[in-house]
Amino acid sequence: VITGASSGLGQALARHYLKLGFTVAMIARRGDLLQPLGKEFPGQSLCYPLDVRDSSSMQLAASDLMARVGIPDVVIANAGVSVGTLTEHSEDIEYIQQIMDTNVLGVAKTFQPFISPMRSAHKGTLVGIASIAGFRGLPGAGAYSASKAAAISYLESLRVELRDSGINVVTICPGYIRTPMTAPNPYRMPFILESADAARRIARAIDRQTAYAVIPWQMAFVGFVLRHMPRPLYDALLATAQRKPRASPSRPQHDTEPPSHRQSRHASEK
Ligand SMILES: NC(=O)c1ccc[n+]([C@@H]2O[C@H](COP(=O)([O-])OP(=O)(O)OC[C@H]3O[C@@H](n4cnc5c(N)ncnc54)[C@H](OP(=O)(O)O)[C@@H]3O)[C@@H](O)[C@H]2O)c1
């Protein structure tokens, strides 16, 4: 099960597992963007056009897919949104809410329906896609950084809660990946990965049941330095760093919720 399979990393992960012959349940709001992959791998995919913030849609989809193909081996909570936010602008509050709802609550809502069945079966892997942006508060991206920091802590809690249940919890912290999410970034993105390469590395970490992985490894080093940098130095270095652009009516963000996405749709099989 992969959320956010209509674009970027989620689509690359779906393609990776489909190529290996797995049955993949793909979830995203834009059902039309899920369909081409489904057509390319006929009989191997289930498509659920829904919003991960809507727990009843997520529960319906989970029941439907478990009735069709059984308890999933792996559930990847990958759906996420990112846009620059500045708290002084009242219009950014809505974006802050969308980011927290999707990147934090969306992960819990994705996993929730699968935990009891996986516990009964004493097997399964829950994967959360966090980010190195959760290591320190990035200026201009406070909501995104906070959401990923929350995701990292949440996934750690879940991992310990589910110890000895037979369910593994894998936390993935990617650095930069070339996807529509990073396309508007005006700054240099060191060690950026193509989405197919990132998907391969993430799948390897999942196969190994790694509890926690930073991808690529070079970003683990950057992350270590970031995490341990003294606060005054961090503040001085980051104060002038280029920032993620804010959403604006003249430059709509594809990755936050456009008005046409506000209604969740029913799950459908393809
Ligand atoms: N790209 C990077 O450098 C990078 C680095 C670290 C972490 N990440 C994380 O990796 C994940 C994938 O990001 P990406 O770069 O592949 O971005 P992307 O190309 O913008 O894809 C985001 C995906 O999430 C889905 N999504 C967003 N909100 C949703 C919602 N409410 N319900 C269901 N699906 C939703 C989108 O589908 P719909 O719009 O069709 O719903 C889309 O498929 C995110 O969690 C992101 O934070 C990315």
Q: Does residue 31's CB lie within 6 angstroms of at least one atom of ligand 1?
A: no
- Closest ligand 1 atom number to CA of residue 148: 47
- Cβ atoms of 140 and 122 closer than 8 Å: no
Q: Could you report the per-residue pLDDT of 142-198, keeping only the tens digit for each? A: 999 999 999 999 999 999 999 999 999 999 999 999 999 999 998 899 999 999 999
The overall longest dimension of the chain from CA atoms, in Å, is: 56
Q: Does residue 184's CB lie within 6 angstroms of at least one atom of ligand 1?
A: no
What separation in Å is there between the alpha carbon of 134 and the centre of ligand 1? 15
Q: Report the share of the chain in percent with pLDDT over 90.
A: 86
Task: Give the Cα separation of 87 and 48 in Å (integer).
Answer: 34
First vs last C-alpha separation in the chain: 15
Q: Does residue 6's CB lie within 6 angstroms of at least one atom of ligand 1?
A: yes
Task: Give the Cα separation of 266 and 130 in Å (integer).
Answer: 27
**pLDDT, position 247:** 85
CA angle 121, 201, 267 (to 5 degrees): 50
Mean residue pLDDT of the chain comes to: 92
User: Best mutation site among 78, 185, 222 for ligand 1, i.e. most ligand atoms within 8 A of its Cβ?
Assistant: 78
Work out the pLDDT band at 63, boundaries 50, 70, 90. very high
What separation in Å is there between the alpha carbon of 230 and the centre of ligand 1? 31
Q: Does residue 51's CB lie within 6 angstroms of at least one atom of ligand 1?
A: yes
Question: Is 144 an annotated catalytic residue?
Answer: yes
Asked if the model's pLDDT at residue 21 lies above 50, the reply is yes
Q: Could you report the per-residue pLDDT of 93-144, keeping only the tens digit for each? A: 999 999 999 999 999 999 999 999 999 999 999 999 999 999 999 999 999 9
Please name which of 165, 163, 152 lies closest in space to residue 214, comparing C-alpha atoms: 152
What separation in Å is there between the alpha carbon of 4 and the centre of ligand 1? 5
List 48, 95, 144, 176, catalytic entry: 144
Strands 125-129 and 168-174, by their bridges, are: parallel
Q: Does residue 110's CB lie within 6 angstroms of at least one atom of ligand 1?
A: no
What separation in Å is there between the alpha carbon of 246 and the centre of ligand 1? 17
Q: Could you report the per-residue pLDDT of 245-268, keeping only the tens digit for each? A: 898 655 445 555 543 344 333 333
Q: Does residue 4's CB lie within 6 angstroms of at least one atom of ligand 1?
A: yes
pTM: 0.93
Helix/strand/coil percent split, the chain, to 5: 45, 15, 35
DSSP secondary structure code for residue 126 in this structure: E
